Structure 1
Amino acid sequence: MPHPPNFTAPYPAPGSYAPPPGYAGPYLASPAPVGGMATNPRHATGAGLGLVALLAAIAATVISGIAIVIAAFNIGLGAGREIALRPMDVRFDWSALTPVRDWVLVAEVSFWIGTALGVWAIIQGIVAIAKNRGRGLGVAAIVVAALGLIVFVIALQSALTAGLAAGTGIGG
């Protein structure tokens, strides 16, 4: 393995440029470690940003998904009979949800918490991709956060339908 050049030599090698005495020059990366490439702290490649973005996306999808399933089922269960017995009209009478207003609040809070975490995950995933600090994890975070909305809507519709079916008392 060749030795690195001696920058402390009093005279530069022929044909090369030597900075004037007392000039430190621009920041240079540390010499390459044995068996590896040189690292430059200005271009960190740690995966921390991407990992946090992915964890936020997973939390947004899972936490809001579980909360909405529980809340939507209880909304359907508690208000199903009232909704089923009212005539279908263009205008929905929101007073049918009065007995289950606590569950409606849980559903709304789960939506907003999932939205906030999902937006945070998307933004941090974009930053992770742009700064190359967990690029693959950043891409995964963006995909999971974007799919989180789809998971939320499907979970809401499924649980609300199941709750309405169980709560109407019609058919058995």
Structure 2
Amino acid sequence: MMSRVTTPDAPQNPPAPPGAWVPPAAPPFGPPQGASVPQHPGAPVAPAGAYAPPQGYAPPQGYGMPAAPAPVPRSGALGLVALVLSLVATIGAGLFGAIASFNIGLGAGKGLAGLPMDGSWDWSILTPVRDWVLLGEVSFWVGTVIGIWALVQGIVATVTRRGRGAGIAAIAIAAVGPLVFGGLVQGFLTAGLAAGTGIGG
């Protein structure tokens, strides 16, 4: 018959030496037995055994994405300025060009009527009307610069929706501005030449 040898059980948690770090005890979960946790109106009820929020804590209300800010209305001044510039370039330049061309034809009509039929040109014919020629040139170049400015600004106003209607109108007016200017100059120059030839003749 064999004898059974028993060995003493090893201690599960040997005592820590003096001065050593001791891990804290695990926090208890859930309220103590017999304790009641105050509930706020509308707060969710925690299941049994779950961690309870501290007393006086109320969960925030209205979870979800924040509301998008209201769009800031954009001013339509950009398109309005472009429209005004296009009108100045088209009507203003066309008006001054028409006045200059009529007086050029009126003053140089007699000299133009006396030109030979071989197609030669004598620039001295424009000497009496050189001031009107200068006015016609200035009105053309100023109208061109302002018209391009109005065209670009009208495009920007249309794309950025800062006065879209006025911007579209500015684009249309600035685009037909050269045609209006050329038509007015041609018409009034012809009328001035006819009047100048009749007066001299």
Superposition TM-score tier, normalisation by shorter sequence: 0.7 to 0.9
Q: 2:60 aligns to what? A: 11
Deviations 1:39-93 (A, max 9, x none): 33xxx42211000000000011111111011110100000011011111334432
Q: 2:133 aligns to what? A: 104
Q: 1:130 aligns to what? A: 159
**1:56 matched to 2:88:** no
Deviations 1:125-151 (A, max 9, x none): 011011110111101001001111111
Gaps (5+ residues) in structure 2?
1-57
The ranges of structure 1 where at least 4 consecutive aligned residues each deviate by more than 6 angstroms after the TM superposition are none
Which protein, 1 or 2, shows the higher relative CO under an 8 Å CA cutoff with sep ≥ 6? 1
Shift of 1:171: 9.5
Q: 1:156 aligns to what? A: 185
Name the amino acid aligned to 2:164.
R
Q: 2:43 aligns to what? A: none
Change (3 A) 1:17 1:165: closer
Change (3 A) 1:71 1:17: closer
Q: 1:39 aligns to what? A: 71
Task: Describe the SS at the equivalent of 1:87.
Answer: coil
Name the amino acid aligned to 1:138.
G
Q: 1:144 aligns to what? A: 173
Distance in 1, matches of 2:59 and 2:200, equals 97
Bigger helix share: 1
Distance in 1, matches of 2:60 and 2:199, equals 97
**1:77 matched to 2:126:** no
Distance in 2, matches of 1:55 and 1:49, equals 10
Gaps (5+ residues) in structure 1?
1-8, 19-27, 30-37
Deviations 1:113-168 (A, max 9, x none): 11111011001001101111011110100100111111101100010000000001
Change (3 A) 1:17 1:123: closer
Larger Rg: 2
Shift of 1:95: 2.0
Change (3 A) 1:17 1:133: closer
- Identical amino acids, percent of aligned pairs: 56
Q: Name the stretch that deviates more: 161-170 or 115-124.
A: 161-170
Q: CA RMSD in A?
A: 2.3
Distance in 1, matches of 2:105 and 2:193, equals 4
**Is this contact kept in 1: 2:115–2:121, CA < 8 A?**
no
